[in-house]
Amino acid sequence: MKHIAVVGGGIVGLAIAYKLSLMKEVKVSVFEKESSQGQHQSGNNSGVLHCGLSYTPNSLKAKLAVNGIKQMVDFCVQNYVKHDICGQIVVAADDEEVKTLDNIAARGKANGLQGLKYLSRYDLKQREPHVKAKKALLVPEEGIVDYKGVMQKMVDKIKESGNEIFFNSKVQNIEETDKELILKVNDKEYKFDLLISCTGLYADMVYQNLTGNKRPLRIVPFRGEYMKIKSEYKDLVNHLIYPVPNPKYPFLGVHFTRMINESRELGPNAVFALKREAYTNKDISLSEFYDSISYKGFHKFVLKNFKFALGEFASSMSNRSFLKKAKRLVPDIELNMIERGVAGVRAQAMNTSGKLIMDFKIEKVNKQIHVLNAPSPAATSSLAIADYVIENYVG
């Protein structure tokens, strides 16, 4: 019997623990520092099932999104979790974006997506009467889901199979011998053969604390703030409406989302956060802020992306600036139709050159496996990430 510790009860840690719990020869224990699962990225995202449209063909992201959405839909069907493959429209607002949209459609085809098609003016009006587009691409395989419902089912299944989840259990250090890993959490000692860290916003720090090695990258927190469309105006959009993503960034741009509870959200922007779990612009941690700004890569990122960073900051400070981004897709939207909504914080890995690392990144050091970068669409892909980690690293 192999005893495996999973650190982090977000959707990636839970998906890995769930898949391990299906293996007869494995016992798994999950350690989560909060009082329940999914309190960070996994419980504060757009709730979208991404099918693999814009990711670089053959990247881990592309492969695991395409496989992951199928597994996630099957999981939802089998466990009665709400979801809807409602389709997405990607809107090019000018000639430059039309070119990028054509490239993205080609990527989608290379990734094996079915049914991609450009909508005629008539078809667009039928589907989304308020959207204005120079060119609009329909992505029929994209959808929405209740990720909190998914995580609750994963927790139930892990426990039903006789495995354990410890909440309020922060993992801070570990002793590694030739034979085993010894973990001390809340004054109790546990012994494991292997540990898998899926700690999102703290993935680099947990890596450093547990392996003793220097961090190979830095997690920089980017808050994503949402606006809510007031319920009386929710018919302004029917499905998912996205701008053409800028291929330079892993962020998809302010978009309209029909949530699984029928509300309509607008966002998220991507604002540098002054703390890793900073859900408002008043949340600050001096040590975490210093950790980001003292990083060589961060200086290079800011120098190269000053205009982008300023634009995102402006949308955090002013509703009008936020609205400007939305009006490119739906010109009829006005300030009186929206109100400030929730926020999530993305764990985005950056390297010393100031590049945002686009692909998923996993590293094994002795008996420890660290998921170091699992940005969007890691929620969609979580069950496929679990297979990948188990097949390639657990053995």
Name the residues that contact ligand FAD, by CB under 6 A: 7-13, 31-34, 38-42, 44-48, 50, 170-171, 198-202, 206, 224, 268, 344-346, 374-380
**CB-wise, 33 or 215, nearer to ligand FAD?**
33
Q: Rank residues 72 and 105 by Cβ distance to ligand FAD and give the closer one.
A: 72
Residue number with the smallest Cβ distance to ligand FAD = 10
- Provide φ and ψ at 160, rounded to 5°: -60, -30
- Looking at the Cβ atoms of 38 and 135, the one nearer to ligand FAD is 38
96 vs 156, beta carbon nearer ligand FAD: 156
Between the alpha carbon of residue 270 and those of residues 13, 78, 332, 348, the distances in Å are 24, 35, 24, 11
Distance CA 86, CA 141 (A): 8
* Minimum distance from residue 353 beta carbon to ligand FAD (Å): 23
308-330 in b/e form (b: 16+ CB < 10 A) is bbebbbbbbeeeeebbebbebbb
